[in-house]
Amino acid sequence: MDDWNLDRLGEESGDEDEGTDVAWSFSGNTGTVFLIDAAKEMFDRLSGEEEEDTPFTRAIKAVHASMMRKAISKPYDLMAVVFFNTREAKNPLGYSSVYVLQELQRPSAENVLAMEEFIDMKDSQFETKFGHSVTASIHDSLRTCQSVFNTSEKRHAGRSILLFTCRDDPHAGDDQRRRQAVTKAKDLKESSIALEILHMGTSFDVTKFYKDLILPDDTEEEEQQQGEELTRERRTLANPTTRFEELMKRVSQLENKQRVAGKLVFTLAPGVTVAVGIYSVVKKSRKPTKKRLWKNTNQELKSIHKDYLMDTGELVSRSDYEYCQKYGNRKIGLTMDEAQNIGNVYKPGMQLLGFKPFSWLKNIYYYKEAKFIYPKEEMLKGSTKVFTALLERCQARNMIALVRLVVRQRTSVALAALVPQKEVLDETNAQMFPPGFLVYHLPFADNFGTVEIKSRSRAKERQVDAAKRVIKKLQFEYQPENFDNPDIETMWEIIKALALNRSQLEPVVDYTVPNNEQMEKRAGPQLREFDRLVFTSTVSQSAKIQSATSALLASKRVKIDNDNLDVETMVRRGQAQQLTVPVLKSWLTARGMSITGKKKAELMQAVIDAVCA
């Protein structure tokens, strides 16, 4: 399963006690149904667009890319593909013009290859096999998608329907079908199935039909209850996509909606509490762990861990375990329950401690990945209003809130800063960042360390100016989501090629490799000037220091009188290095030793061996 839970310090999940102030939601797999319009208009290039692909091809490419992504990052999530407005029909409810292409299942190589066939399929081939129509009812299509979810035996953490279309008014002049579609959209909402419209084309008018499906009649009433600021994303519909990149980005955002990792009660003051959900903003991508298989059947092996006493070989059960904590030279024995509950200083929840200006938050305090909190109105009525008021006042005064955080039972207490975040929309009116608070974990006093620097050299003012010019020229807008891990990407490309029986690997672009040509083009003169002022002058200065040191040592060197020299005494004093080659040769020749072809080091070693013999 995908690990979206918070840090639990290695504890097992277990059931929470009754009356606790924290609730944890199921963090299993999600289900997504891609509902694609197959009307004739989807196979024609839209006017006013530069894209060569038709809307149908763009939708298929988006589904294909989503399957490839899910197979790598979330292999346990389930996906299905349904066509509507086809001549042929295939669905369990017997509706016309609705074709279930793929049932709800985990992404597989067969499904990926099937989508690739549709990418290369011509309109005439699709017409022969599936056909086109405009008679499909949106109500019937949505109910078919709902039945696809209902037939699945697995439990889902979230369910969503992504509808691709370029037709803005499918039921023009048919009020009965329009009312049925709106009613079904409300039914999906009550069943916790999210409906998202991925509309394409510059002339698409979402207010003609689909706005009533996304924003039902009770939206205004809910806005009055929940507050205006936090429901803006529900009142603002994104513009139609005109480019494939925009469609891919929107599909990725919709299918990767963050699931709540935990629900906590946020206490602002005695008697003033709100319910919030905690979401993981960033999680580290890791390579999949290797699994052991039986070579005869490729069946996965199951590991069983057992402990035995060393003396008797008796099997020890988990209930017989005992833990200890050393205090000095003494071992303090603890049972399992004592070891798990010894750190339960506070109950799970979030407690407001005070406020600080945003300038107080230093860079060194960011030592752990941040979380995000958002009110949970269904858990505690009125939470959205209080949460919105706190968010607006923190934004207006540029303040952050300091809180004490305990995410669940048997976890350590943490200090955190709540940093307000405004809603950010992109150029297509789609939400990039939601409104809420980012939770930054703060270090305790014993988390700080000291770094002692004994000596350091300072750069000259002109060297600093040269470095500033280089930095100014090489600045660029860095976005972490645009940089893939080349190590992981290469590994998955190899696995993908093996799974899809491909003989060639798709090239992996490594964006971590510097573009030397572009750097030279943008900052070539500045880099050479920096090199001349810093590295050339440093080498020249080091050469001058070395020359002055050699001269000083030469001036202090004691001249040796070769005529009155006691070689044996100097060797015993460790001064053999000061003996010249003529002195060494003379001393060895006088004692009948060979000196032919020997260098100073060999002559010196021969003298040392003779003296020490």
Q: In the chain, what are the domain boundaries?
A: 30-257, 263-283+347-447, 461-542, 567-612
Rounded distance between C-alpha atoms, residue 305 and residue 297, angstroms: 23
- The mean predicted confidence, pLDDT, of the chain is 79
φ and ψ at residue 326, rounded to 5 degrees: -80, 135
pLDDT confidence of 15, banded at 50, 70, 90? very low
pLDDT tens-digit map of 146-163: 999 888 777 777 788 989
pLDDT confidence of 6, banded at 50, 70, 90? very low
Rounded distance between C-alpha atoms, residue 263 and residue 374, angstroms: 10
Output the pLDDT for position 17: 37
CB 508 within 8 A of CB 483: no
Rounded distance between C-alpha atoms, residue 30 and residue 75, angstroms: 10
Give the mean model confidence (pLDDT) for residues 366-373.
Answer: 86
Rounded distance between C-alpha atoms, residue 97 and residue 442, angstroms: 57
> Does the structure show a pLDDT above 60 at 172?
yes
Residue 480 Cα distances to 477, 512, 513, angstroms: 10, 11, 15
Count of CB atoms situated within 10 Å of the CB of 241: 28
The separation between CA 453 and the C-alpha centre of its own chain, rounded to angstroms, equals: 34
Rounded distance between C-alpha atoms, residue 266 and residue 613, angstroms: 86
Give the mean model confidence (pLDDT) for residues 596-605.
Answer: 82
Output the pLDDT for position 20: 37
164 versus 506: the higher-pLDDT residue is: 164
322 Cβ contact partners less than 8 Å away, ≥ 6 residues apart: 333, 334, 335, 336
* Most confident option among 410-424, 499-513, 589-603: 410-424
State which fold the 30-257 domain adopts: Rossmann fold (3.40.50)
Rounded distance between C-alpha atoms, residue 26 and residue 259, angstroms: 9
Q: Which of 1-10, 254-263, 428-437, 443-452 has the lowest mean pLDDT?
A: 1-10
562 versus 421: the higher-pLDDT residue is: 421
Q: For residue 165, give the amino acid letter.
A: T
Residue 183 Cα distances to 34, 177, 198, 404, angstroms: 20, 10, 20, 44
Q: For the chain, percent helix, then strand, then coil, each to nearest 5?
A: 40, 20, 40
Output the pLDDT for position 586: 86
Among candidates 292, 286, 322, 303, which has minimal Cα distance to 487?
286
Give the mean model confidence (pLDDT) for residues 330-357.
Answer: 84
Burial 534-547 (b: 16+ CB within 10 A, else e): beeeeeeeeeeeee
Q: Which of 289-293, 535-539, 556-560, 598-602 has the lowest mean pLDDT?
A: 556-560
pLDDT confidence of 546, banded at 50, 70, 90? low
59 versus 234: the higher-pLDDT residue is: 59
pLDDT confidence of 232, banded at 50, 70, 90? very low
Rounded distance between C-alpha atoms, residue 163 and residue 145, angstroms: 10
State which fold the 461-542 domain adopts: Ku70; Chain: A; domain 4 (1.10.1600)
Rounded distance between C-alpha atoms, residue 209 and residue 140, angstroms: 16
Q: Is 167 helix (H, G, I), strand (E, B) or coil?
A: coil
Output the pLDDT for position 21: 41
500 versus 389: the higher-pLDDT residue is: 389
Q: Is 135 helix (H, G, I), strand (E, B) or coil?
A: coil
Output the pLDDT for position 226: 45
H or E, element range at 463:
helix 461-473
CB 419 within 8 A of CB 438: yes
457 Cβ contact partners less than 8 Å away, ≥ 6 residues apart: none
* Most confident option among 39-53, 106-120, 220-234, 545-559: 106-120
For residue 501 the two structure tokens come to 């029986």
Output the pLDDT for position 494: 84
Rounded distance between C-alpha atoms, residue 60 and residue 71, angstroms: 16
pLDDT confidence of 18, banded at 50, 70, 90? very low
Rounded distance between C-alpha atoms, residue 478 and residue 534, angstroms: 27
513 versus 2: the higher-pLDDT residue is: 513
Tell how strand 323-327 and strand 414-421 pair up: unpaired
For domain 263-283+347-447, give the CATH number: 2.40.290.10
pLDDT tens-digit map of 481-534: 778 888 888 888 888 888 777 777 778 888 888 888 888 998 999 999 988 888
Handedness of CA 147, 246, 119, 56 (dihedral sign): positive
Rounded distance between C-alpha atoms, residue 517 and residue 501, angstroms: 37
Output the pLDDT for position 85: 92
DSSP 60-127: HHHHHHHHHHHHHH-TT-EEEEEEES-SS-B-TT--TTEEEEEEEE---HHHHHHHHHHHH--HHHHH
Give the rounded percent of residues in the chain with a pLDDT score beyond 70.
81
Output the pLDDT for position 175: 87
For residue 430 the two structure tokens come to 């789609």
Rounded distance between C-alpha atoms, residue 612 and residue 605, angstroms: 10
Output the pLDDT for position 10: 31
Give the mean model confidence (pLDDT) for residues 293-319.
Answer: 86
H or E, element range at 612:
helix 600-612
Rounded distance between C-alpha atoms, residue 576 and residue 602, angstroms: 12
DSSP letter assigned to residue 200: B
Q: Record the pTM.
A: 0.62
Among candidates 383, 391, 435, which has minimal Cα distance to 230?
435
Rounded distance between C-alpha atoms, residue 561 and residue 276, angstroms: 91
Reported residue count of the chain is 613
Q: Which of 220-234, 406-420, 548-562, 576-590 has the lowest mean pLDDT?
A: 220-234
Q: Is 309 helix (H, G, I), strand (E, B) or coil?
A: coil
Rounded distance between C-alpha atoms, residue 86 and residue 133, angstroms: 5
pLDDT tens-digit map of 73-126: 777 888 899 999 999 999 989 899 999 999 998 888 888 888 888 888 888 889
Tell how strand 371-375 and strand 330-334 pair up: unpaired
Q: Which of 225-229, 239-243, 306-310, 356-360 has the lowest mean pLDDT?
A: 225-229
Output the pLDDT for position 16: 37
40 versus 551: the higher-pLDDT residue is: 40
DSSP 345-374: -S-SEEEEEEEEEGGG--GGG--S--EEEE
For residue 59 the two structure tokens come to 């939708």
Output the pLDDT for position 417: 94
Give the rounded percent of residues in the chain with a pLDDT score beyond 90.
20
Helices (runs of H) and strands (runs of E) counted in the chain? 18, 19
Handedness of CA 424, 427, 429, 432 (dihedral sign): negative
Output the pLDDT for position 438: 92
Output the pLDDT for position 84: 94
Give the mean model confidence (pLDDT) for residues 343-354.
Answer: 87
- State the virtual CA torsion across 431, 432, 435, 440 in degrees, nearest 10: 160
Give the mean model confidence (pLDDT) for residues 184-203.
Answer: 85
pLDDT confidence of 12, banded at 50, 70, 90? very low
DSSP 26-41: ----EEEEEEEE-SGG
For domain 567-612, give the CATH number: 1.10.720
